[in-house]
Amino acid sequence: MRTRSLLTCLLVVVVLLTAGSCRSGAGAPAPSATRTVGVLDQWRAALAGRASEPAVWYSIGESLAEGQGASTVESRWFTQVSDALHAADPGGGRADYVPARQRVYGPDSPWGNRYSASEGTLVMRDGSAEAGYGFADLGHKALEMAPGASLTFSVTGTSVDLCWVGAPLAGTFSYTVDGGPPVSVSTTTETPAPASRTRATFATGGDHTVVVTAASDVVFAGLMVYDGGETSGITTVDGAWSSATLAVPFLTDLEGWRQTTSTLAPDLVTIELGGNDVLQGTDPATFRQQAQSLVDMLMSLPTPPSIYWVFPYQFSPTLDNADQMGTYQDQIAQLVAANPSVGLLSLRDQMPAATAAGGGLYASDGLHPNDAGQRVIAGLVGAVVTAPLAGTASPSPSPSPTR
């Protein structure tokens, strides 16, 4: 049965990796830092109640979370874990966020355009990370569409939410479904919100073509694609942002992003951040303070989500400050120890170190995981995310010291 095989594959990867794929030169790996008492309670409860209300997983992070290094969007670890979640819920509703555009790049990841066709002038806008564009959409990956510009999306499902931002470029766009009559949408709102949605319900389920055309300058943030998951099932949201640090974009407009996140109402938030802070030399104490600010924002939501921090694997020693990664991991381990609501999965404790030449689990840039590395990360993250559906407990060793 497909459901069992997908979940089993994820869990088998974890068993094999734990048994024999620790960081080179480190001997037997210490368990990844994890705290589970209460950490997954909200996620577990949401999955248990998914027949009446969607259980929402929000993945935020840097290029490692967005999928840089994966040859296709399907082979990145986030999509693999999302597919495993949905496969473990046969017959359940599904919803997946498709950003207007990804920030990944070639030659390793040539799938940045999530739309199938486009016309006219499109400008990537990085949301709250960009001066003069004070909005915080779900993925911080919106597109400014000039008048006459259009985007074509090929989707499979029962409906879509067209996601847009009203400020600072409030205007009008239209959409069509399968060549039908255009429907006009005004993005001018009396109370500008960081992210807004307009629902388009299809006459039947299956494959559909959605075309979005700008009548004036508008900011379009992508589609939430539903396949029976409008009011039940499992929703997965890619909120990662290649090149992200803790400060940019996530803390740049923390209140705006809080509003967007509150509207999404996630039950589980995975945070894969720290790699770019290492490479850019963020002061470790500042890094810890920023991490706490992010956690505090999430815990201030009306329903606080389960939170899991995914710390990156060891980078190649040829990269700036790579020898300091243990210091940054210690900062997150201390945050976990001080916040019982947060869990920690350290890829650094579970995967071999990257090398400058790449190979093995890593792409030719020596920094990002290739398709093989994506499968390994999918196994590790999937063991946490799918644990309630798999009928297994998530890993529960205490935080390990840096080696």
Question: Is-above-0.85 flag for pTM?
Answer: yes
Which tokens go with 324? 């300091």
Under 8 Å between Cβ of 16 and 351: no
Residues with Cβ within 8 Å of 133's Cβ and at least 6 positions away in sequence, in order, are 125, 126, 127, 168, 219
Distance CA 380, CA 310 (A): 10
Question: What is the residue-level pLDDT of the chain in tens, covering all 403 positions?
Answer: 333 344 444 443 443 333 333 443 333 333 344 444 479 999 999 999 999 999 999 999 999 999 999 999 999 999 999 999 999 998 899 999 999 889 999 999 999 999 999 999 998 776 544 544 555 677 788 888 999 999 999 999 999 999 998 766 789 999 999 999 999 999 887 555 556 899 999 999 999 999 999 999 998 999 999 999 999 999 999 999 999 999 988 888 888 889 889 999 999 999 999 999 999 999 999 999 999 999 999 999 999 999 999 999 999 999 999 999 999 999 999 999 999 999 999 999 999 999 998 999 999 888 999 999 999 999 999 999 999 987 654 443 333 333 3
pLDDT at 193: 58
Amino acid code (one letter) for 253: D
Nearest to 116 by CA among 101, 136, 131: 101
- Burial grade of 15 (CB within 10 A; 0-12, 13-18, 19 or more): exposed
Amino acid code (one letter) for 148: G
The CATH architecture to which 1-93+232-403 belongs is: 3-Layer(aba) Sandwich (3.40)
Residues with Cβ within 8 Å of 71's Cβ and at least 6 positions away in sequence, in order, are 108, 109, 370, 371
Under 8 Å between Cβ of 153 and 147: no
Domain 107-230 is found in CATH 1.25.40.10: no
Distance CA 311, CA 35 (A): 14
Domain ranges of the chain: 1-93+232-403, 107-230
